[in-house]
Structure 1
Amino acid sequence: MTKTDCLTAAMLTVGQRHSARLRFTREQVDTYCALTGDANAIHRDLEAARRRFPGVTDIVVPGGLIQSTVSGLFGTRFPGDGALGLSFVPERFRKPVLPGEEVVVTFEITRIKGAIIDIDLAVTDAQGARLTNGQARVLAPDEGYRQWWETQQSGCVD
């Protein structure tokens, strides 16, 4: 089982940041495309990827796979388990991400109103070049959920 976090709005502050490093495999690309019906050739054929993005050395990771993985971080890492994504609006990716390349996702809380958390996010490559920005609104878990979550942690493994 993957270790998660569970932060209530009371545990968060405006300006608080969280970062995660992500890397995508060809198998993840294949699975995502099969599940979503995304048949775009740039996600399975190097020649197609090169025709669309000259100079790439591999197929292109679907933006939707990256976006859904980022959304998954809201419900596992920040704020964590029990959080509900209300909206996530990413901008267009500035350059393609290829399987095996590391991307860094950084969240920064910009507003807290009750249990509603507004987050600005940035996705960069391993060298720090910006790939995309976005905004998200997340409903943080309440204290009752956090108490339940804490009782469940005895079975989690890193």
Structure 2
Amino acid sequence: MTDSSTLIADEAAIAALVQVGERIEHVAHYTRDEISRFATLTLDLNPVHHDREAARRAGLADVIASGQHTSALMSGLAASYFSREDGIARSMLCLHFNFAYREPIFAGSDVSMRWVVSSTEWNASLDGVIAQLEGKATVGHALAVIARGTVLVRRAS
């Protein structure tokens, strides 16, 4: 059975590291060259990421970013945010990320990425906060990617 002083200590530890409702936001501009370079680096040679004519033959208006392009940017955004030092040194481990791709992201697009902390829980055995994240990437008002994540945030030593 947990006593009230332990609960208060857990709540204080959570609040110092991560809070429900915290938002992480970033806008990235996807150029044709960046789309092609990222796809090449991840061994994705699908021509729709590299060649405008191949993309058009596939029924697309232009080259599109690979799914892992947005996934990597969103994962990196979360990692950078939760391992920041703003008076409290933190470290973060990704426990799980899931991405669903709803719309293609075309070259020349500005992609708005957002994570929101939806829940937190202190985990004594891991000595940190397990935070659930809800994310999305939009182009204009179109939802392109839906994401969910679970991260472990701890005080850095």
TM-score, normalised via structure 2 length: 0.75
Of 90, 108, 117, the residue aligned with 2:99 is 90
Q: How does 1:47-126 map to 2 (within 5 A)?
A: 47-54=53-60, 56=61, 58-77=62-81, 79-81=82-84, 82-92=91-101, 94-114=102-122, 115-125=129-139
TM-score (norm 1): 0.74
Distance in 1 of aligned mates of 2:63 and 2:23: 31
Q: Which runs of 5+ in 1 are unaligned?
A: 1-7, 146-158
Q: In the alignment, which residue of structure 1 is the partner of 2:125? A: none
Deviation at 1:38, TM superposition (A): 0.7
Q: Does 1:26 align with 2:21?
A: no
- In the alignment, the residues of structure 2 paired with residue 128 and residue 18 of structure 1 have an alpha-carbon distance, to the nearest angstrom, of 18
Instruction: Identify the residue that residue 140 of structure 1 maps to in structure 2.
Output: 153
Superimposed CA distance per residue, residues 105-147 of structure 1 (whole angstroms, 9 cap, x where no aligned partner): 111111111211110001111x2221121100111131x44xx
Q: Percent identity at matched positions?
A: 26
- Please tell me whether the aligned partners of residues 30 and 111 of structure 2 are also in contact (alpha carbons under 8 angstroms): no
C-alpha RMSD of the superposition:
1.9
Consecutive unaligned residues in structure 2, runs of 5 or more: 1-12, 85-90, 123-128
**Separation in structure 1 between the aligned mates of residue 32 and residue 154 of structure 2, nearest angstrom:** 34
Larger Rg computed on CA atoms: 2
Give every structure 1 segment of 4 or more consecutive aligned residues whose post-TM-superposition deviation is greater than 6 Å.
none
* More contact order relative to length (CA 8 Å, sep ≥ 6): 1
Q: How many residues align?
A: 132
Tell me if the contact between 1:73 and 1:80 (Cα under 8 Å) persists in the aligned partners: no
